[in-house]
A and B are shown apart, each in its own frame.
Chain A
Amino acid sequence: EVQLVESGGGLVQPGGSLRLSCAASGFTFSNYWMHWVRQAPGKGLEWVSRINNDGSSTRYADSVKGRFTISRDNAKNTLYLQMNTVRAEDTAVYYCATFSDHGWGQGTPVTVSS
């Protein structure tokens, strides 16, 4: 059974840092490009970032460029999102996603507040 399980969300102060993880199982993780998508409270879905299958190529939304870093460890079947210099507008549920047959995780909530 395919599973994508996010973790690492929580409450963080403005200007702080947080690292999200997404543990993948049930498929060959190293074959797939991976994405982070977020949904702010009461808002729609927003694509955040993408990494290719071997980690050599990354892309970001303008809203997070220079602050967030996507990475992966194919030996651990895990995707990461390092979030630095967070802002109130980064408050959202963060999903990892394959944009393929293997779907999305359930999401992990991040709240940026003092």
Chain B
Amino acid sequence: DIQMTQSPSSLSASVGDRVTITCRASQDVGNGLDWYQHKPGKAPKRLIYTASNLQTGVPSRFSGSGSGTEFTLTISSLQPEDFATYYCLQHNIYPYTFGQGTKLEIK
């Protein structure tokens, strides 16, 4: 199975900060990677699909990049509503696998 390693596992940041989360795949997954935001009690929300495409309706402060085995999610200027847990998902090779999550907390 492909292992998706996210870093950091947790992050403390302030409103207005620029934040980058990294996801590394144990094998090449091409651009078959999405990023999700998950808040407690809510459905996970897709932010980025196929590595770098912004989901309709998602603010432009979110961006994604990468291909192959290394991917990044960047939030250019944190807003209060961005504090949540973020997951990457590789959907190129079965079984699909998520990263372990990055919990973004308010400093």
CB atoms of A107 and B43 under 8 A apart: yes
CB distance from B103 to the nearest CB of A (A): 10
Instruction: List the one stretch of B12-20, B23-31, B65-73, B94-102 in contact with chain A.
Output: B94-102
Instruction: List the one stretch of A10-18, A24-32, A39-47, A77-85 in contact with chain B.
Output: A39-47
CB atoms of A101 and B101 under 8 A apart: no
A-B contact count (CB 8 A): 48
Number of interface residues of A (CB under 8 A): 21
CB atoms of B44 and A59 under 8 A apart: no
CB within 8 Å for A61 and B95 given contacts A45-B101, A47-B89, A101-B55 = yes
Q: Within 8 Å CB of B95, what residues of A?
A: 47, 59-62
Among residues of B, the one whose C-beta sits closest to the C-beta of A44 is: B101
A74 CB–B CB distance under 8 Å: no
Which applies to chain B's interface (DSSP): helix, strand, loop or mixed?
loop
CB atoms of B98 and A50 under 8 A apart: no
Q: Within 8 Å CB of B89, what residues of A?
A: 45, 47, 99
Which applies to chain A's interface (DSSP): helix, strand, loop or mixed?
strand
When the two chains form the complex, which single residue of B1, B34, B98 contacts A62, counting CB atoms closer than 8 Å? B1
A86-114 residues with Cβ-Cβ distance < 8 A to B are 95, 97, 99, 101, 103-107
B42 CB–A CB distance under 8 Å: yes
CB atoms of B99 and A104 under 8 A apart: no
Fill in one digit per residue for A27-70: 1 if any B CB lies within 8 Å of its CB, else 0. Answer: 00000000101000000111100100000000111100000000
CB atoms of A45 and B87 under 8 A apart: yes
Q: Within 8 Å CB of A106, what residues of B?
A: 42-43
List the 9 closest pairs (A to B, CB-CB), nearest first.
A104-B43, A47-B96, A44-B101, A45-B98, A61-B95, A44-B100, A59-B94, A106-B43, A45-B87
Q: Which residues of A contact B (CB under 8 A)?
A: 4, 35, 37, 44-47, 50, 59-62, 95, 97, 99, 101, 103-107
